[in-house]
Structure 1
C-alpha cells in the first residue's frame, strides 16, 4: 500500500508497583508491534521516542499529552493505541483527543484510531483494549480493534494492515471530502410534489439541511412541471395521446431527431403503455420543463414525486430523471449534471449529491430489489442514467446508443417509456444511502463489483426496467439488515473512504463495509 504514517501510543499503569513489574514486558510488546509495522513498510512514530525508559510509556497525564503531541507533530495519518496489559482507559481516550486537537492540518479534530491488544492470556491486554473501546464509544469516537500476537501471527499483522490501508485511503480522500462539504453549502434542492406512495423515508428536515449543511430548499407542485411542459408543445388533442401540431421548443425536436430518427437508442412500441413516439415526445417536454425550472429557481438537485398524479394521468418521469442525472442530454450534447431522485426521495437525492460532489460524475437512484448468492440487484422503474449503460471509461455520448425505451409496467396507468439498460460487468461501484435512525442522520454504504447483465435477466425482474448486478463483500442477510430503506444512490468508483470522511466532518454516524467486508462504524 502507499506508505502510511502511523503513531504508536503506548500507555502504562500509573501505579508504581505495577510499573516496576511490567515495564520491560510492555516495552517488548510495543517493539513487536513497531518492528512488525516497519517490516511491512509502515512509517512508525513512537510517542515516547527519546524519553527516559519509564517515560517511553505514558503513565501520567503530562506524558499522555506529550506522547500524543509528538505523534501529531509528525502529521500521523492514524494513531494506534497499543495495549500490552492493563492501563487506565481515560489516559488512552485523552490521548486520542490530544492527538486530534494537536494536528496542524486538514485533519485537525479527526482521529483515525486503531486499538491493538497484544494476546497474552496471563495479562489483561484485551481487557484494556476493550475498556478503551468502551470509553471511546461512550463519546461517539469510532475505532477498530485488533487482538493478536504480531510477532508470531501473520494474520494479526495482515488485519492491522487492512485497517491501516482503509485509513490511508481516508487520509488521501480528506481534501476531496472537505471540498465537497464546502460545495454542499452552495446547493439548493427543488421538490416537485410531496411524499410519494406514503414512503416515510423519502422526507427530510429541510431546517436541519439549512442549519448543518447550508443547503437551501424550494417546493413546487407537480402541476408546475406540467404547466411548463405544455408551453413547449402545441398538441392536436390530448397531450401524449395525440400527435403534436407544433413543437415550439427546438430542443425537443432535436432530441427526437437524435434519439429516434437517427436511431441513437432502441424504441419498442409493442406495449399499450407506449404505443408510439408521441408519448415519448410528451416525456421529453417534462424533461426540458424540469431543466428550465431548475435554472429558473437556481436549483442544483431535486426530486420528482411522479406517483401517482403524473404517472397516472400524464406520463412517467423516468425520462426526466434519467437525463437530469446524466452528463449528456437527449439531443446528444454535454450538459450539467443534476442529481434527481424519483418519488421525491430527498435523502436519496442528497446521497446522490454527495456522490456527485465527490466524483464529479453522474450518480443514479435505484431500488434495492434483490440479494441472492452474494449478488445485489438494483432494479427500478426506469431512471438509471444512460451513463451507467456502458463502462466508466467509455464515451458518454456512445452510451445513449445502448438505451432501450420500453413501455412501462402496471403501476403507471398513464404509461410512457422506461429508460432500460444493462450496466456492464467489471466495474467497482459505490452504493450508499443517507438515512435517519431515531431522527439522527447516518450514512450506510458499501461497494459492489458489477457483473454482466444478460438481456434475458429482464424476465426475472421487470421487462422494462434497467438492471445493475454486483457482487457484495458481505453476506446477503447482513446486507439486507444493514440497509436503512428500499432506495440507494450509486456511482462508479470506490468512494467509501470519502463518505466516511464527510460523515466524520459533518458529525453524523456511518455504517460502512469496505471491499474486504470489514465494518467501519460510528454511532448516529
Structure 2
C-alpha cells in the first residue's frame, strides 16, 4: 500500500533504572508490533529513537525527550503518535507534546496510543497524560487496546485520516484567519424573545475572532424599504407602486415568471402585498450592508417586525443565498434570525471555509438517530437542491406561503426540503462560563416527504440528517437551540480553526469519534 501519511512515534519510558532494565526490551517489542501493523495500512512511521543505543531508543529522561522530538521534526512528520507501552512519567510526554508544538510553530496533531492489558499499566499512563493535557488546554486523541486486537489499528487509522484532513485544511484555515479582521457584523435590533444565547460580548469577539461590530435599529430597515416601494396606506396591506427596479424584477421573477410556488390561501399571506414588502426589506438590508461594509448580520425580527410589519424570512433567506429573489448572482451575507450573534459568526466561519452559503436553523427534534432542522420560515434556497445544481432549479422549488400563528403581521415563509444523500456540517459557537467553544458534527441528509410539514409547522422548511452519535450526546453537548449548517464535511477545518483561535471544541467525525479541547 502506498504511504499516505508520515507519523512520528514517540515512546517514553519510566526513568527508574531498575524498571528500565526489566521493561525496555518489552516496550520496544510493543513499539515494533505497532509500527509493523501501521506500515501495512500505508502509514510511514519514523521512530524518535532511531539509530540510538537500545536503552535510549525509548525516552527515559528529559534530554532524550527533546532529542527524540528533534529527530522527528527533522524528518518532517505529519503527526505525532505517543506510544504509551507501559507506565511512564506523565510530565515527560506532556513536555514532548509541548516541545513538538513549539518546534513546528503551529498546533500539534497528536494521537496517543495506550497499551491496555492486565499486566501493563499503559492505560494508566495514558489517562494521567490526557488529564494533564486537558488542564493546560491541549488536545490529544487517545486510542487504547493492543495492536493485535480486532479494530484497534483501524481505529488508529481512522483518527490519522481525520488528522490528515486537518493537515489538508491548514491552508484554507490560515486564509480564513487572515480574512477575519476585515469582517464586520451588523445587528438590526436587540435581543429577540429573551434568548440569552443570542447575545455576545463584542469586545470578546474582537479579542478572539478579530471581527468588528455595528448596530442599527430595525426601523432603519423600514425607512430604507419605504423608499423602494410607495404605499398608499399601511405598508404590506395597501395598494403600492414599486420604485426600485430590483424589487420589480424580483416580483416579476416569482409571481409572473413562476420561479417558485406562491400560495395565497393561508391567513398570513392573502395577496402579493406582504411579499412585495418583504422583498423591499431584503434589498434595504442588502444595501445597508454594502454601504457600511458589513459582511455578516443578524435581524431581530420578533416581535417588532413580525408583529407590526411582516416577518424577515425573505430577507434572511436571500441574504444567506448565492442568488437573489430575482435569480441573479449576489454576494453571500451570512445572516441569523433573531439577531443570534454567535450563530451568525458560526455561519460566517462556515461560509469562509466553504465558499458556499451557510444557513441558520432551529435544533427542532432528534429521534431514531435523525436530527430535524426546522427553522421558523427561512432556509437559503441553495439548500433546496444539491450543491452543484443550477440556482434557477432551486428557486423553482421554493414554496412561498403564509406564516404560522406566532407572527401577527404575517408574511411569506420560504419553504423547501433539502435532498437526501448530502453530507452537511452542523455547527455552533457557544460559551461555557463565558469561555468560547465550538460544537460540530457531520450529518448525512435523508429524504423529506412533503407531508412531513404537517407534523411540525406547515410553512417551515425542513432538513433531516442522520447523526453519527446518540441523541443524548447531541442534545447534551449543544449549547443552545440554534445551529448553522453548510454542505460538505468541514469538521477537520473547524478543529484546526479552533486550535489557531485558542478556543475549546467538542467535534465529532463521521464515525462518531469525539475530538475535544477544553474551553
Q: Which residue of 2 aligns with 1:478?
A: 473
Alpha-carbon distance between aligned partners in 2 of 1:219 and 1:63, rounded to the nearest angstrom: 56
Q: Which residue of 2 aligns with 1:30?
A: 31
Alpha-carbon distance between aligned partners in 1 of 2:239 and 2:417, rounded to the nearest angstrom: 31
State yes or no: 1:140 paired with 2:137.
Answer: yes
Q: Which residue of 2 aligns with 1:416?
A: 411
Q: Which residue of 1 aligns with 2:125?
A: 128
1:119 deviates by 2.8
Alpha-carbon distance between aligned partners in 2 of 1:241 and 1:72, rounded to the nearest angstrom: 69
The match for 1:253 among 241, 248, 272 is 248
State yes or no: 1:87 paired with 2:88.
Answer: yes
Q: Which residue of 1 aligns with 2:263?
A: 268
Q: Is the 8 A contact 1:80 1:116 kept in 2?
A: yes
1:294 deviates by 0.3
1:2 deviates by 7.4
The match for 1:116 among 113, 121, 126 is 113
Q: Count how many residue pairs are aligned between Structure 1 and Structure 2.
A: 518
1:321 deviates by 0.2
Q: Is the 8 A contact 1:191 1:218 kept in 2?
A: yes
Alpha-carbon distance between aligned partners in 2 of 1:312 and 1:436, rounded to the nearest angstrom: 31
Q: Which residue of 2 aligns with 1:229?
A: 225
1:125 deviates by 1.5
Alpha-carbon distance between aligned partners in 2 of 1:73 and 1:227, rounded to the nearest angstrom: 63
CA deviation profile, 1:236-280 (whole Å, cap 9, x unmatched) = 211110121x21100000001111100000000001210001110
State yes or no: 1:316 paired with 2:311.
Answer: yes
| Greater than 4 Å deviation, 4+ residue runs | none
State yes or no: 1:293 paired with 2:288.
Answer: yes
1:12 deviates by 1.0
Q: Is the 8 A contact 2:453 2:460 kept in 1?
A: yes
Q: Is the 8 A contact 1:72 1:100 kept in 2?
A: no
Alpha-carbon distance between aligned partners in 2 of 1:324 and 1:301, rounded to the nearest angstrom: 9
Q: Which runs of 5+ in 2 are unaligned?
A: none
Alpha-carbon distance between aligned partners in 2 of 1:22 and 1:255, rounded to the nearest angstrom: 76
TM-score normalised by structure 2 residue count:
0.98
State yes or no: 1:160 paired with 2:156.
Answer: yes
Alpha-carbon distance between aligned partners in 2 of 1:235 and 1:323, rounded to the nearest angstrom: 23
Q: Which residue of 2 aligns with 1:512?
A: 507
Q: Which residue of 1 aligns with 2:5?
A: 4
The match for 1:190 among 171, 186, 190 is 186
State yes or no: 1:441 paired with 2:423.
Answer: no
Q: Which runs of 5+ in 1 are unaligned?
A: none
Q: Which residue of 2 aligns with 1:66?
A: 67
CA deviation profile, 1:267-319 (whole Å, cap 9, x unmatched) = 00001210001110000010000011101111000100000000000000000
SS at match of 2:227: helix
1:386-465 equivalence runs, <5 A: 386-465=381-460
1:303-342 equivalence runs, <5 A: 303-342=298-337
Alpha-carbon distance between aligned partners in 2 of 1:472 and 1:241, rounded to the nearest angstrom: 44
Alpha-carbon distance between aligned partners in 2 of 1:141 and 1:203, rounded to the nearest angstrom: 28
Alpha-carbon distance between aligned partners in 2 of 1:487 and 1:474, rounded to the nearest angstrom: 19
CA deviation profile, 1:420-453 (whole Å, cap 9, x unmatched) = 0000000000000001110000000011100011
Alpha-carbon distance between aligned partners in 2 of 1:91 and 1:455, rounded to the nearest angstrom: 59
Q: Is the 8 A contact 2:3 2:44 kept in 1?
A: no
Q: Is the 8 A contact 1:73 1:102 kept in 2?
A: no
Q: Is the 8 A contact 1:342 1:365 kept in 2?
A: yes
CA deviation profile, 1:140-192 (whole Å, cap 9, x unmatched) = 11111111111x21311111111111111111111111111111111000000
Alpha-carbon distance between aligned partners in 1 of 2:383 and 2:18, rounded to the nearest angstrom: 65
State yes or no: 1:201 paired with 2:197.
Answer: yes
SS at match of 2:223: helix
Q: Over aligned residues, Cα RMSD in angstroms? A: 1.1
